[in-house]
Amino acid sequence: MSQHSQPTVKLALPRQFREIRLELAREPDHPAGSRQHGYRLIAPLDAEGHIDVHLWELHRVACRVVRFRPGEDDEVGHLIRRGAHWVFHYDIMGSDDDESGYRFSDERFVVGEYVSIHEVEGLRTFQVTSVEHL
């Protein structure tokens, strides 16, 4: 190990935790979709692929989101719940929710499925492209 490399530290999370990758689906500005526009989520999923609310409550700090865009720094935040809605909260010191999942409580995070996210630009659709064990 070189002096600059760091060992990987893994949190002790339940096996239901997954890393979920969402990529922009087809839209007028991106007729083929875009692998460079998307999100990576760390969240617990139940057997049907829904976000497991109970495990989220127990491990909120581990439930993260990374928004990636070409030419921009990644935006890192938390997956939080406001009532029955899931939101991405990037500014931990602020009170504004940056983006929200459209009907995330009903969505299945299974490869090939589509989910919608309310962004500043409006509602955009993303495809689940991978769901991996941590």
C-alpha neighbours within 13 Å on the C-beta side of residue 14: 14
Rounded distance, CA 84 to CA 51, Å? Answer: 12
How much is the CA Rg of the chain, to the nearest whole Å? 15
Rounded distance, CA 116 to CA 8, Å? Answer: 32
- The size of the chain, in residues, is 134
Rounded distance, CA 94 to CA 88, Å? Answer: 13
DSSP class of residue 61 equals G
Rounded distance, CA 80 to CA 60, Å? Answer: 7
Stretch among 3-7, 62-66, 76-80, 82-86 having the lowest mean pLDDT: 3-7
- Beta partners for 85? 82
Per-residue pLDDT tens over the stretch 16-68: 999 999 999 999 999 999 999 999 999 999 999 999 999 999 999 999 999 99
